[in-house]
Amino acid sequence: MAKRVSGNEKPYRPVDEALVRSVLRGSDSEETTSVSDNTATASVRDSTLSEPITPDPQQSPPIQPAPVIEKLSREKRVLLTKSEEREIERFVSRLAEELETPLKLSHVLRSCMTILRHAQKEIIAQASHSEKLERPPNGDPVALAEFEYKLAQIISDALSKTPPLD
């Protein structure tokens, strides 16, 4: 376990903050930074180049910075009947078995989200040519099932017109 530094003791920093800044800044000016160790302090100097570096056209392109990935922090809930829950869990289990990998319902649902986002234009176009739907009240399970089935038909028709994922 790491020990805490007392108020009058300087914390151990294997890389000096100024060195990190100069490397990140990529400055061409000559700077002196120090790297401290428990026993010794070494100086590191940036050297200026006499001629600029030109990339070799045969080399691979420069590495692009990694895209910023948003943290999964939002939860969406859906109510299921016991039989629907058993059915979807069995499906996920069979899919995991075929793929020979652990799999959860959340993985499958996030994959479905990818498909919906990919087919968004086609789904909206299909909806614009379909009959207008009226959402029934939550207390009418039969009407809700019919409503969701019609919505599923619209999405299914649109998916058949959607180009495959890249």
98-155 pLDDT per residue, tens: 999 999 999 999 999 999 999 999 999 999 999 999 999 999 999 999 999 999 999 9
Q: What is the rounded average pLDDT for all residues in the chain?
A: 81
Contact 41, 35 (CB under 8 A): yes
Contact 144, 133 (CB under 8 A): no
Q: Is the pTM here over 0.75, yes or no?
A: no
User: Which residue from 126, 123, 87, 127 is spatially nearest to 108, judged by alpha carbons?
Assistant: 87
Q: Is the pLDDT of residue 30 over 80?
A: no
- Distance from C-alpha of 48 to C-alpha of 26, rounded to nearest angstrom: 11
Q: Which range has the top average pLDDT, 24-28, 33-37, 94-98?
A: 94-98
- Distance from C-alpha of 91 to C-alpha of 80, rounded to nearest angstrom: 15
Q: Is the pLDDT of residue 36 over 70?
A: no
Q: Which range has the top average pLDDT, 9-13, 38-42, 149-153?
A: 149-153
- Distance from C-alpha of 5 to C-alpha of 155, rounded to nearest angstrom: 60
Lowest-pLDDT range, 48-52, 58-62, 82-86, 111-115? Answer: 48-52
pLDDT band at 35 (very low <50, low <70, confident <90, very high): very low
pLDDT score, position 52: 59
SS3 of residue 35 by DSSP: strand
Lowest-pLDDT range, 24-28, 37-41, 67-71, 121-125? Answer: 37-41
pLDDT score, position 63: 76
User: What is the biggest distance separating any 2 CA atoms in the chain, rounded to whole angstroms?
Assistant: 79
Give 1 or 19, the one with higher predicted confidence: 19
